[in-house]
Amino acid sequence: MPFACLFVPDFSVQALVRLEPELRSKPIAVFEGVPPLRKVFGANAAAKTAGVEIGMTKTQAELCPGIVCRQRSLSQESTAHSALLDCAWTISPRVEGSGQEELPDTVVVDIAGCEKLFGSPEKIASDLRRVAAEVGFDANVAVAANAESAICAARGFPGITVIPAGDEAARIGVLPLSSLKIPMELLDTLARWGIHTCAEFAALPEIAVVERVGQKGRRWQLMTRGADARPLLPKEPPLEFEECMDLEFPVELLEPLMFVMNRLLDELCTRLRMHVLATNEIQLTLTLQGNGSRRKESLLHVRTLRLPVPARESKLLLKLLQVDLQNHPPNAPVIGVRIAAVPARPRTRQLGLFLPQSPEPELLEVTLARIRNTVGYDRVGSPLLLDTHRPDAFRQTHFVLPESTTRMANTQRRTTAALRMYRPPLPAVVELREKKPAAVICNGARRQILALSGPWRTKGEWWAETAWARDDWDVLMEALRPAYRLDASEPMEEGTALYRIYRDLRLRRWFVEGIYD
């Protein structure tokens, strides 16, 4: 009697409900997709009774009485699966994580030899179910002599099912073939044959089945007979270097935490060095002091740092973690620290004798991290022009040092004026003459326009709320106040200057956008 299976029906719903137990008795529909195209992905029994069907749109589902709608959360499902694994690991170290079909709702445990520790199979099953209930799952548990029988029974029968050895075929036989997760193609063939239950499939002559649907058919048939004795595929931890330390006392300040982290990083870097490896990703997981609940994901503080180049200098890594934690401090005392390093080949690059010197990538990364902390995460990087007619449309990409600098040939060089933009643009009042700007009043100063060209009109994204419409003008006028210099080293805006002004046609307001060099 060596295998138990934990199966969570309506997994996507339960993954959410376990964090919001007050919803447990209500009809819940889980959607996936982005508005306005959200469709029902999962629903609990109450919701199905109320008329919700998988694949309905949100608008349709909302018509069902009393329905509670929630967006699907893959991260919560992932953590729920981890929690399910945890439940299994409380019984046995040999746990198969996601089965053969990558099913997050199913976990199989090898319970051979556990009887002495935990009691009869029924007791183990009920323990598993109780533990699952503690982490918020209403799970089916089945115990059988082989893993597949346990999976079939858990998926097919509600509550706890213990199948005595030898009874697998009989018990599983009553289940419809759909509970086996048989591929659609085979299911269609079997349906054509008039075979709908496991027992009917099991009764077919084995050689004849192999002749017709191949070896895979035999495997599925063995399953329906409860005789598939495949070995368990215990979950292996992913290949990563990991160091962790449980703290005796909760730590609230950053400094003592840095001390611990320093030690862990030293160890990690030493191990990396021994394997001639470095790391390009560090994951810091701080276990926070909670109220005794088993909701692990809410008690962890996880920070991930991705490095532009692989590194194994503990000082550098420590500095990066420190800067990050200063910006994202944990919200509770820390009781455990875990640092995982994803291994990577170290950077090998020989500097050229005549290449211009560029900043050390590692140092540059530290500097960028500091700037990010000051101005915001999304505000640092290299600008990347976007494919749109919208003026000043760009996004930030991660700044990396170019591998080599290529100089543009003289013939390719374009003589274009540079526009220094005011961010945000300066609100202005513009006086018009014959529908053309005649004077600009900005920041208290009135400037007569001496020459102009335009309007240059752009209108776009009319299909979305981000629609814009504006008329740009290039105007020559006396310089605006020097207060708008970008930095002290720049020349003062004196005499006349060429400006870009624009009228936002939707807001019906004028702005000074920038000054041409």
Partner 1 sequence: MYVELHSCSAFSFLEGASLPEDLVSEAARLELPAIALLDRDGVYGSPRFHMAAEKAGIRAHVGAEISVEGFGTQAGMPSWMPNKIPSRPVRLALLAKNRTGYQNICRLMTRYKLREKVKGTGTATLEEVAEHAKGLVCLTGGQEGILAAALAQGGSEEARRNIEKLLTIFGKRNVYVEVQRHFDPAEETRNQAAVCLAHRLHLPLLATNGVRYAHAQDREILDLFTCIRNRCQLETAGRLVERNDERHFRPAAEMTRLFSDLPEAITNTGELSARLRYTLADLGYEFPRYPVPSGETIDTFLRKRTEEGFRARYAAKRLDNLYERAERQVRRELALIAKLKLAGYFLIVWDIIRFCREEGILVQGRGSAANSAVCYSLGITAVDPVGMELLFERFLSEERGEWPDIDLDLPSGDQREKAIQYVYQRYGQLGAAMTANVITYRGRSAAREVGKVLGFDRETLDQLSSLVNTWGWRGATDTTEHQFHQAGLDLSHPRVQKYCELCERIQDLPRHLGQHSGGMVICQGQLDSVVPLEPATMPGRIVVQWDKEDCADMGIVKVDLLGLGMMAALEDCLELVPKHYGEPLDLAQLPADDPLVYETLRRADTVGMFQVESRAQMSSLPRNAPTKFYDLVVQVAIIRPGPIVGRMMHPYMRRRQRREPVVYAHPSLEPVLKRTLGVPLFQEQLLRMAMITASFTGGEAEDLRRAMGFKRSESRMREIEVKLRRGMDQNGIKGETQEEIITQITSFAQYGFPESHAASFALIAYASAYLKCHYLAAFTAALLNNQPMGFYSPATLVKDAQRHGLRVKPIDARYSEWRCTLDRDPDKPAPCLRIGFRYVRGLRQAAAEAVVRQRQVRPFAGIEDLVKRVPDLQKSELVTLSEIGALNGLGQKIHRRSALWQVERAARPAGPLLESIPEQADASPLQQMTDEERLVADFHGSGMTAGPHPMSYCRARLDLLKVQRACDLHGIQDGEHTRVAGCVIARQRPGTAKGFVFLSLEDETGIANVIVHPDLYEKHRLIINREKFLRIDGILQNQDRVVSIKASQVMPIAISAAETESHDFH
The residue ranges that bind partner 1 (CB under 8 A) are: 33, 35-37, 39, 55-60, 189, 192-195, 203-205, 207-208, 211-214, 384-389, 453-460, 462-465, 469, 471
| Nearest-approach distance from CB 217 to partner 1, in angstroms | 10
Q: Give per-residue burial for 155-178: e unless 16+ CB within 10 Å, then b.
A: bbbeebbbbeeeebbebbbebebe
Q: Comparing C-alpha atoms, which of 69, 66, 19 is closest to residue 42?
A: 69
| Structure-block tokens of residue 446 | 């009135």
| Nearest-approach distance from CB 224 to partner 1, in angstroms | 14
| Nearest-approach distance from CB 32 to partner 1, in angstroms | 11
Q: How far apart are CA 506 and CA 468, in angstroms?
A: 7
| Nearest-approach distance from CB 187 to partner 1, in angstroms | 14
User: What DSSP character marks residue 21?
Assistant: G
Q: Which lies closer to partner 1 via its Cβ, residue 208 or residue 445?
A: 208
Q: Which lies closer to partner 1 via its Cβ, residue 326 or residue 453?
A: 453
Long-range contacts of 312-315 (CB under 8 A, 24+ apart): 312/269, 312/272, 312/273, 312/277, 312/278, 312/279, 312/346, 313/269, 313/362, 314/262, 314/265, 314/266, 314/268, 314/269
Contact, 427 vs 484, CB < 8 A?
no
| Nearest-approach distance from CB 358 to partner 1, in angstroms | 23
| Nearest-approach distance from CB 429 to partner 1, in angstroms | 22
Q: How far apart are CA 389 and CA 348, in angstroms?
A: 42
Q: How far apart are CA 323 and CA 368, in angstroms?
A: 11
Q: Which lies closer to partner 1 via its Cβ, residue 274 or residue 408?
A: 408
CA distances from 242 to 202, 238, 260, 281 (A): 47, 10, 14, 12
Q: Which lies closer to partner 1 via its Cβ, residue 204 or residue 364?
A: 204
| Nearest-approach distance from CB 499 to partner 1, in angstroms | 15
Q: Which lies closer to partner 1 via its Cβ, residue 57 or residue 262?
A: 57
| Nearest-approach distance from CB 244 to partner 1, in angstroms | 43
Q: Which lies closer to partner 1 via its Cβ, residue 55 or residue 491?
A: 55
Q: Which lies closer to partner 1 via its Cβ, residue 204 or residue 260?
A: 204
Q: Which lies closer to partner 1 via its Cβ, residue 57 or residue 283?
A: 57
CB atoms within 10 A of CB 307: 20
Q: Which lies closer to partner 1 via its Cβ, residue 55 or residue 237?
A: 55
Q: How far apart are CA 408 and CA 347, in angstroms?
A: 29
Which contiguous run of DSSP H or E holds residue 513? strand 509-516
| Nearest-approach distance from CB 428 to partner 1, in angstroms | 20
- Cα 424 → chain centroid: 32
E-only strand ranges, 197-277: 241-251
Q: Which lies closer to partner 1 via its Cβ, residue 107 or residue 195?
A: 195
| Nearest-approach distance from CB 387 to partner 1, in angstroms | 3
Q: How far apart are CA 383 and CA 97, in angstroms?
A: 43
Return the bridge partners of 306, or none.
281
Whose structure tokens read 């183990």? 124
Contact, 235 vs 99, CB < 8 A?
no
